[in-house]
């Protein structure tokens, strides 16, 4: 009787371990969810959008080892890419790849040129500032007048679709290949920010249930239903 009980427990433990291992492998190597925290990709991506990203296409990383499997593809112009910010190698960023290695990038009065041709603005990109910021000096650049610059080998030039409000390669340089994580695929959830929502405060034990009740009451208002399962372009 005791043996049967132990066998049953062991079978359950094995099932749980297998499920955990598979979940880790999928999360680290195939797909992963990301939340959009800023407005730099508006209106393509909005604050509160939750994305599923394809990590396999650019070369899946083997869990627990610093190994990377062969990539099926590399980031191309127009891809919306998740990567580690070059500034610290830790923070996840998401931007649009506008140029790859060997291409020349230049911004002239807000217009983006790649290899001396106008790079078309993505359908939902935007400019929020009517000003055109000039160069501060002949050899220096500004947000709206930048470059020219040739993307180094093994690197990618990233820009946000919200061109006037994006911290991107114009400010911190290109993204190296080993920092690339995956390509954005679709929006699986979208939760609109609500400035009236109560905050969860550690010192106030009742703040969590208050927030929970508020979100339940306003659930149907805050979910952006039209964005669910939208493919990212």
Q: Which of 40, 125, 141, 166 is catalytic?
A: 40
Report cis status (omega within 30 of 0) of the bond before 148: yes
Query: What is the pLDDT confidence band of residue 104, given thresholds at 50, 70 and 90?
Result: very high
What gap in Å lies between CA 90 and CA 95, rounded to an integer? 16
In this structure, is residue 108 part of a structural domain? yes
Contact between 153 and 142 under an 8 Å Cβ cutoff? The reply is no
Q: For residue 8, tell me if it sits in a domain.
A: no
- Considering the candidates 3, 27, 55, 95, report the single residue annotated as catalytic: 95
Q: Is 78 helix (H, G, I), strand (E, B) or coil?
A: coil
| Range 23-40 average pLDDT | 67
pLDDT one-digit tens code per residue, 210-228: 999 999 999 999 999 999 9
Q: Which of the 8 DSSP states describes residue 38?
A: S
Active site residue 8: no
Give the chain's mean pLDDT: 86
- Is residue 145 in some structural domain? yes
The verdict on residue 203 lying in a domain is yes
- Residue 47 structural domain: 31-231
Name the percent of the chain lying above pLDDT 70. 81
pLDDT at 229: 92
Question: Is residue 50 over pLDDT 90?
Answer: yes
Among the residues of 85-233, which ranges form H helices?
A: 169-172, 207-217, 219-222
Do residues 78 and 156 touch, judged by C-beta distance below 8 A? no
- Per mean pLDDT, which range of 107-111, 115-119, 211-215 is the poorest? 211-215
Q: What is the CATH number of the domain that holds 165?
A: 2.10.109.10
Residue 64 has pLDDT above 80, yes or no: no
The answer to the question of residue 14 being in a domain is no
When pLDDT is cut at 50, 70 and 90, the band that residue 51 belongs to is very high
For 132-147, the pLDDT digits (tens) are 999 988 778 999 999 9
- The predicted model scores a pTM of 0.83
5 in any annotated domain: no
* Residue 40 appears among annotated catalytic residues: yes
Indicate whether 21 belongs to any domain: no
Are the beta carbons of 49 and 187 closer than 8 angstroms?
yes
Judge whether 191 lies within some domain. Answer: yes
Domains in the chain: how many in total? 1
* Banded pLDDT at 72 (limits 50, 70, 90): confident
Residue 24 banded pLDDT, cuts 50, 70, 90: very low
């Amino acid at each position: 009787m005791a043996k049967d009980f132990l066998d049953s427990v062991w079978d359950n433990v094995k099932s749980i371990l297998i499920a955990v291992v598979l979940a880790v492998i999928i999360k680290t190597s195939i797909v992963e969810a990301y939340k959009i925290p800023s407005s730099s990709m508006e209106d393509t991506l909005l604050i509160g959008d939750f994305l599923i990203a394809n990590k396999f296409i650019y070369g899946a990383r083997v869990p627990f080892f610093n190994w990377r499997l062969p990539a099926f593809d590399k980031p191309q112009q127009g891809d919306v890419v998740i990567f580690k910010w070059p500034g610290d190698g830790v923070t996840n960023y998401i931007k649009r790849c506008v140029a790859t290695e060997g291409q020349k990038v230049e911004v002239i009065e807000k217009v983006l040129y790649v290899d001396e041709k106008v790079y078309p603005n993505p359908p939902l990109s935007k400019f929020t500032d009517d000003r055109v910021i000039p160069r501060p000096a002949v050899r220096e650049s500004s947000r709206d007048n930048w470059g020219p610059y040739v993307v180094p080998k093994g690197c990618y030039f990233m820009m946000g679709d919200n061109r006037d409000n994006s911290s991107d390669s114009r400010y911190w340089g290109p993204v190296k290949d080993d920092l690339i994580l995956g390509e954005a695929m679709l929006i699986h959830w979208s939760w609109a920010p609500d400035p009236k929502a109560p905050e969860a405060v550690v010192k106030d034990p009742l703040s969590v249930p208050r927030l929970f009740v508020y979100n339940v009451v306003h659930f149907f208002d805050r979910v952006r239903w039209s964005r669910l399962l939208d493919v990212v372009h």
